[in-house]
Chains A and B, each alone.
Chain A
């Protein structure tokens, strides 16, 4: 492990050995030494739990564990419902992002309300989201009552409920990413397309959307990751019926009581997926934050 005491001189040496950019180097070594301690502690805090997970994983029985019916069906259900939630977010979220990005001309008040609404699921405890969905779509819910009465449709505690709960929580990730991309896109390309005779819908499909594909992809990946890890809203709104609504996070939580090895295996799988997400976003997201 790199300790705080080691880290300080190493950085100072690095700064002195490069001749170019003296200003930057001086600023770099201007970090008070005392800040290195909490900074490195923070890194350990982020890294060590994951390390523990890897260290304690039952590697010998891992393949066997992975393909038990409970974990296998949870894995499939999780992937399918997260993909469906992502698709739902794409279909609804891209138009919403478009409206947000193009709302510059509006009055400030409706714009703020719209933006706040989009951000609600980001700050709302997921359990509250689940309760709210239940009150809307539950058997006695505001809309759910009529779905049941008129069409015989019951949504809570079904797989579609999992998808809805995940989409509710993950939507902001997609909307914000796509909105940012749309804001950054050069709108004069749309002007060109219009002078060439393209209708607004044609322009949206053939110019606007293709130009923001990287942003849409980044948003979709983030959205998928959030949907895959969803727990609170899902267990509240959809419950935990194995094979129907018991997704990986729920499965991991329940397994901790009876079969800790199983919980670790599920957690490992989710960790691998998260790492893959980070790797796929390394250009779009991580360097974007750094820049």
Chain B
């Protein structure tokens, strides 16, 4: 348990498909990356923490203040949290600086002071020249920065980020990820980042919490989760295989067209993907998907095509199979 500072939450939200049930304990200054497949309940978790959705049961407490418990509910506007939405949702009828100053103005800060603070934040995120621009004129990365400045300018006690990098193209994404990591380090409160991208989670999160179908399936430091994935989904996310409790890298899998003494699984090739220096073969075997990384030449030698039957083994001696 953390002390008074930070988030302590343990709640259930009723949803049409399944109930979302999870507990989070985030000390101030730490970031939890909430990871999971689409529809797992990640965004609903953030909405519950923000007060936009009311939990059916359980409690949410931030810095010692009870937000939700049986019978009591603090409205979102009274929580002082920062929320960056997936597609940023900058107010289209306001300029960039008005967007950032919105929360300050709404909470009674005088116009000039609100503007000064908004300008200071926009300069901090490198957008000092875009004060009077309209949101529609911004690139994805710039809109991201405005949304972040808008969420942080009011000095929120907790920061919630919903897929903050998902709307960006690959070229801006890497840069923004680093930038976001810096802001999160400088930010003193606790933060929750929702993502379905393992790289985002590993870079941004001090702790990973993986949810599937509304339940936490694994939590731990990025290193722990990467080393010992608890479910098929987590293993695939981390680029690993998990079969019968055994974790092994795709690069250690040996693919053969016929059985031999070392063969452990028999299955059908479901897909073949070209990567930079290897080819990743997905094999379906008795309900599991096993990944195998083989050199491009092996595809030709083994005449691997979708639907072929193959035998798989794990090489104990070398990380570089084949």
Contacts and interface: CB of A to CB of B under 8 A. Distances in A.
A194 B102 CA distance: 11
Interface residues of B, number: 26
Given A196-B77, A197-B106, 14 more contacts: A189-B89, A191-B50, A191-B76, A194-B52, A194-B75, A195-B50, A195-B52, A195-B83, A195-B151, A195-B160, A196-B154, A197-B154, A202-B106, A206-B106
A191 B44 CA distance: 13
Contact of B83 (A189, A192, A210, A211): A192
Nearest to A195: B83
Nearest to A209: B93
A211 B76 contact: no
B91 interface: yes
A197 B93 contact: no
In which size bucket is the chain A interface? 10 to 19
B287 interface: no
B80 interface: yes
A213 B91 CA distance: 14
Contacts of B50: 191, 195
Interface string B39-83: 000000001001110000000000000000000000111111111
SS of A interface (majority): helix
Interface string B14-58: 000000000000000000000000000000000100111000000
B107 interface: yes
A139 B264 CA distance: 97
A271 interface: no
B130 interface: no
A207 interface: yes
Contact of A210 (B75, B81, B82, B93): B93
Nearest to A188: B89
B85 interface: yes
Contacts of B145: none
Interface string A194-205: 111111101000
B175 interface: no
Residue of A189, A193, A195, A198 ringed by the most chain B CB atoms within 10 A: A195
B115 interface: no
Nearest to B47: A191
Interface in A188-237: 188-189, 191-200, 202, 206-207, 210-211, 213
A216 to B, nearest CB: 13
A186 B89 contact: yes
Contacts of A197: 77-78, 80, 103, 106-107, 154
Contacts of A213: 93
A193 B82 contact: no
B150 interface: yes
A193 B106 contact: yes
Contacts of B52: 191, 194-195
22 contacts: A189-B89, A189-B91, A191-B47, A191-B83, A191-B85, A192-B85, A194-B52, A194-B75, A195-B76, A195-B82, A195-B151, A196-B103, A196-B106, A197-B78, A197-B80, A198-B103, A198-B106, A198-B107, A199-B77, A202-B106, A206-B106, A211-B93
Contacts of A211: 92-93
Contacts of B102: 193, 196, 198, 206
Interface string A108-142: 00000000000000000000000000000000000
A189 to B, nearest CB: 6
> What 7 pairs between A and B have smallest CB-CB spacing?
A196-B103, A198-B106, A195-B83, A194-B76, A197-B107, A210-B93, A192-B89
Given A186-B89, A189-B89, A211-B92, A195 B81 contact: yes
Given A195-B52, A196-B106, A197-B106, A207 B91 contact: yes
A193 to B, nearest CB: 7
A110 B85 CA distance: 34
